[in-house]
A and B are shown apart, each in its own frame.
Chain A
Amino acid sequence: MIFLGIDIGSLSCDAVLIDENKNILSSSVIPTGVKNIESIAKVKKNVLDAAGVMEKDILSIVSTGYGRNRVKERDRAVTEITCHAKGIKHMIPDTRILIDIGGQDSKAMLLDPDGNVVDFAMNDKCAAGTGRFLEAMARALEVDINQLGDLDKGATSDLVLSSMCTVFAESEVVSLIASGTEQKEIAKGLNRAIAARTNSLVKRIAKNTRDLAVSMSGGVARNRGVVKAIAESMNLERVNTPKLPDIVGALGAAIIGLEKRR
């Protein structure tokens, strides 16, 4: 028995195949691109090929992400909030607060001990602190997005970027470069700014986070600098990240398919 979860985000399209014991058989992450119908077909083919199974073997397809209603063959569509909670519960069971920073929005979720969402908060319409924001900052710093995570190593100043609007922040970064501020200090300032914003999102759902395990999902969870800054800003020893943070939503979707089947 095989279950498929597909997460169609604004930047990436992710799929996960699981068996009836919630073991991950295969997963795939590809850019969403302009034509998401094509991306959906492609990511589905990727996971089927990788697991060596046929489409007819799939018992249920659950879609999630902002393009969830674009998956025609879905059995059900569930929001990414419920799916991320479900996925992280499987990957990091003791999670009580989940921060998901995706391509175009960021969310904080408060989970009960069983992994059910009890409250959540989403950022405003703007892209501040999200994947798209980081892409713009990487561009301004003239580094690859994947290099951004370690760029702050060795930074010592307490610089914090004051602008969080993508447009203003980009010009702030440019003027910092112009004034001779080191790249690592700017990167650190950037991470601190994102952390402050994330922290205020978390505070909207939980006033006291001291005894709650915090995890992070979504592509930005791969950025070590941001994760560390969030931990520092929340006074935590660590913020947990799963090995494959991009597929948390798709995994959650697949698990929901399995559980509903039962």
Chain B
Amino acid sequence: MNKKIGFTCAYTPVPLIEAAGFFPYRILPETKAPDQAGHLLHDNLCPHVKKVLDRALENDLPDLEGMVFINSCDTMRRLADAWQVARPDDKIILIDLPSGMNRLSLDFLSKEYERLSRTLFKWNDQTLEPEIISEKIKEKIFQWNLLADSIKKIEEKMTNDFFPGYASGLQQIINTAATESIDQALAMAKSKIEPENPCKSLTAPVFVFGNLLFDPKVYDLFEEWNVQVVGTDFCTSSRFVTRIQTGPDDNIFRSLAHSYLKQTPCARTMDTTIPGSIAQRIVERAKKSNAKGVIGFTLKFCDPYLARIPMIRQALQKESIPFLMLEGDCTEGSMGQQQTRIEAFTEMLEV
């Protein structure tokens, strides 16, 4: 037992993996494997993908039954390409992900998720009636929704009061769900929701957004540097735990497609009716979480974010919300280099 399916993107519908009898395993870009992905691809790719590929090249991975890739950006596509060379014996599937929400995109993504489900059951040598598959998926969705609800409660708690260590604790819960098990994550979440006395707030309540910030230690560093994280928006934070809205008669794949496309999307996903809506969304979330400032943290060479930072900066400026932009490369050292910037930012917010 304990057959794992690897994945790398927050648009991966993990309940489908579980319903097919596998454990989803998110390959986080955390490794001591040597830096060699650049040889197979190029060095100017985001460190997320490069480090995940380094793990594959160095076999720094648990046993995997297969890999699910999402065509969310060029770099993810290239990762799927390189995977076939790095680990030619792995089963892989690439799911196409439309860039925005409309009727056609929804139809298409529903079919893509259905294809994924079919493939996963096939990988596990199971042939089941569609109704049974649908029931199995619903069961798993129920569990993931429980986690999404718990995370929401913890986030609300963090927005209103300061609980030292909560930001990193929350990250640990999410990492556990992504790499260990949903049951374990649910148990961890339970203890965080229970009443606890808050501490005196730090002087700089900040909303943090970007692509990947998964190391719990970084959130502790933030606190050490006087940043009180009151809200986050990352592929590795609550964005990963998407609450799936389902009705009793809904097609389950459609519900999944709808929820993944609609909820707090990554910068690569757009609303054509409101171009640049990501900027407005970040302003709204910062305000809602009572943040005095916003810190953007993105990995180098991330095209979806690189292209949107100017409009985000402009929107925050318009609302007189101070903004600090940081760039990292998934190494511990890169965070240390940000200390002066972050501390200066909090000193600025204190005035």
Contacts and interface: CB of A to CB of B under 8 A. Distances in A.
Interface string A110-152: 0000001111101001000000000000000000000000000
A82 interface: yes
Nearest to B350: A82
Contacts of A117: 344, 347-348, 351
B347 to A, nearest CB: 4
B337 A125 contact: yes
Interface stretch (A73-81, A166-174, A177-185, A234-242): A73-81
B32 interface: no
A147 B347 CA distance: 37
A170 to B, nearest CB: 23
B322 A79 contact: no
B348 A66 contact: no
Interface of chain B: mostly helix, strand, loop or mixed: helix
Contacts of A116: 348, 351
Contacts of A79: 340, 343-344, 347
Contacts of B351: 116-117
B288 interface: no
B341 interface: yes
B345 to A, nearest CB: 8
B348 A82 contact: yes
Interface string B326-351: 00000000000100110110011001
Nearest to A77: B343
A119 B322 contact: yes
Nearest to B323: A119
A120 B344 contact: yes
Is the interface on chain A under 10, 10 to 19, 20 to 34, or 35 or more residues?
10 to 19
A78 B348 contact: no
A81 B347 contact: yes
A78 B322 contact: no
B309 to A, nearest CB: 11
A81 B344 contact: yes
Contact of A82 (B322, B337, B347): B347
B318 to A, nearest CB: 13
A119 B324 CA distance: 9
A117 to B, nearest CB: 5
Nearest to B225: A79
B322 A118 contact: yes
Nearest to A112: B351
A5 to B, nearest CB: 15
A118 B348 CA distance: 7
Nearest to B338: A122
B320 to A, nearest CB: 9
Contacts of A125: 337
Nearest to A120: B344
B344 A82 contact: yes
A228 B129 CA distance: 78
Nearest to B348: A117
Contacts of B348: 81-82, 116-120
A82 B344 CA distance: 6
Q: Count chain B CB atoms within 10 A of each CB in A78, A79, A80, A118 and give the residue with the most.
A: A79
Contacts of B322: 118-119
A77 to B, nearest CB: 8
B317 to A, nearest CB: 9
Contacts of B343: 79
Interface in A39-80: 66, 78-80
Q: Count chain A CB atoms within 10 A of each CB in B322, B337, B344, B351 and give the residue with the most.
A: B344
A66 B344 contact: no
B276 to A, nearest CB: 19
Q: Count chain A CB atoms within 10 A of each CB in B322, B340, B341, B343 and give the residue with the most.
A: B340
A236 to B, nearest CB: 23
B316 to A, nearest CB: 11
B227 to A, nearest CB: 13
A83 to B, nearest CB: 9
A78 B337 contact: no
Nearest to B327: A124
Interface in B232-278: none
Nearest to B341: A122
B340 to A, nearest CB: 5
Interface of B: 322, 337, 340-341, 343-344, 347-348, 351
Closest 6 CB pairs of A and B: A81-B344, A79-B344, A82-B347, A116-B351, A79-B343, A117-B348
Given A78-B347, A125-B337, 14 more contacts: A79-B340, A79-B343, A80-B340, A80-B344, A81-B340, A81-B347, A82-B347, A116-B348, A116-B351, A117-B344, A117-B348, A118-B322, A120-B344, A120-B348
22 contacts: A66-B340, A79-B340, A79-B343, A79-B344, A79-B347, A80-B340, A80-B344, A81-B340, A81-B347, A81-B348, A82-B344, A82-B347, A82-B348, A116-B348, A117-B344, A117-B348, A117-B351, A118-B322, A118-B348, A119-B322, A120-B348, A122-B340
Interface of A: 66, 78-82, 116-120, 122, 125
